[in-house]
Amino acid sequence: MRALSLGRLEGDAESVTGVDVDSRRIRPGDLFVAVQSGEAFLDDARRRGAAATLVPDDAHAALAALGSAVRARSDARVVAITGSVGKTSTKDILAALLRPRFRTVAAPDGFNNEIGLPLTLCRIEPETEVVVTEMAMRGAGQIRDLARVARPHLGVITAIAPVHLEQLGSLENIARAKAELLEELPAGAVAVLPEDAPELEPFVPDGLDVRRFPAPAAEVRDGRTHLRWHGRDVAFGFTARHQAANAAAALAAAEALGVDPPDEPVEVTFSRLRSQEVELPGGGVLINDAWNANPVAMRAALAHLRDRADGRRTVAILGEMTELGPEAPGYHREIAGEAEGIDVVLGVGELAREYRPDEWTRTAAEAAAAVRGLVRPGDAVLVKGSRVVGLEAVVEALQEPRP
């Protein structure tokens, strides 16, 4: 097994049927790869039935080798999705479109980095027909490295937006980094790109079959979002109007794979902490969008909160937005304008002071205590902030039974 040269391998590698890096998810027959502090959980993985364990010399190199080896043995078509916003939701929608037609593997949750992408590839089975992967980045060169592991047949870029400005400095550099995916596609491959992304245009290579998706007309009615797509009405089982652009990207990718829009509504299960809705006491609703945040996504989430409120009192728990560079305070002040009209805004984190919130806390733990006094039965509540803020603690607090 190739992993023998990548670290300390113990157990029966020849019988391995899956790969994971979290001992709590290990199933009988899996290979447990001990990344970061994972060596402390080797015994736990073995107790759960791991066929073999690997303590890698270089975790990313080891996982890349494993993912590449599984990918090389498969004839499945591989889709790679990247973009400043909407990657995971587009992946979730595309998987929902494909599954009725193809045996599909899709990246779980936000498995989109040097660890998550190889783990997605390691889920490929002999009968798999399509693999939907997701690729994130923090700097130049990282999308290229991921694409060389996945070797996709079809690439999707959802949007170019002011995310990772701290590392990349400009929208032009963000577009150049995202376009690394296009450069790694084989000649003649399909590239699904937004219709309105001028920063991306200089970096689109010749020789690709470029298909552009528009910002589609969308209407929410009867608990579904309806899109006009090539003269047809396509219904999706979600109410977030801002998901329409992600749905358009997914529809374009599905069509490139030979799947036409279905006549029946498309039911989509979104990944954890993304556009998830939970009932709250007294007819309230919690919009759990706590995975991450940037200016574009924050505006969309606030608009969705207003749409879903339907006369209810609105509460927005907004964490700061990170990785925006020197202009970060200005981006936060812009969101303050977008939040006007929200009944109660609770800011979390130092930059969240710029939202001009009604209440402010330094940490998510403090916010989790504060919301118990802020949120009333029947409220419509949004929780959204950058990943490092950890607003899932607020989500958990809101769902705890009250006396």
**CA 319 remoteness from chain centre:** 18
Question: What is the reported pLDDT for 4?
Answer: 46
Is CATH 3.40.1390.10 what the domain over 2-57 is classified as, yes or no?
Answer: yes
Helix or strand or coil: residue 228?
strand
How is residue 326 annotated by DSSP?
Answer: G
The angle, 0 to 180 degrees and rounded to 10, between the axes of the packed helices 328-338 and 295-309 is 10
Phi-psi map region of 87: left, alpha, beta (phi>0 left; psi -120 to 50 alpha): alpha
Helix residue ranges per DSSP H, 57-170: 59-72, 87-98, 116-121, 142-150, 165-168
Question: What is the reported pLDDT for 403?
Answer: 63
Which homologous superfamily is 67-256 in? Mur-like, catalytic domain (3.40.1190.10)
Which homologous superfamily is 276-399 in? Mur ligase, C-terminal domain (3.90.190.20)
In this prediction the pTM is 0.88
Per-residue confidence in pLDDT tens, the chain, 403 aa = 444 468 999 999 888 999 999 999 999 999 999 998 999 999 999 999 999 999 999 999 999 999 999 999 999 999 999 999 999 999 999 999 999 999 999 999 879 999 999 999 999 999 999 999 999 998 899 999 999 999 999 999 999 988 878 888 899 999 999 999 999 999 999 999 999 999 999 999 999 999 999 988 899 988 899 999 998 999 999 988 889 999 999 999 999 999 999 999 999 998 877 778 889 989 999 999 988 899 999 999 999 999 999 899 999 999 999 989 999 999 999 999 999 999 999 999 999 999 999 999 999 999 999 998 999 999 999 999 998 999 999 999 999 876 6
Question: What is the reported pLDDT for 394?
Answer: 96
Interatomic CA distance for residues 361 and 367, integer angstroms: 6
Domain ranges of the chain: 2-57, 67-256, 276-399
- 154-157: strand order across its sheet: 104-106, 130-134, 77-82, 154-157, 190-194, 209-213
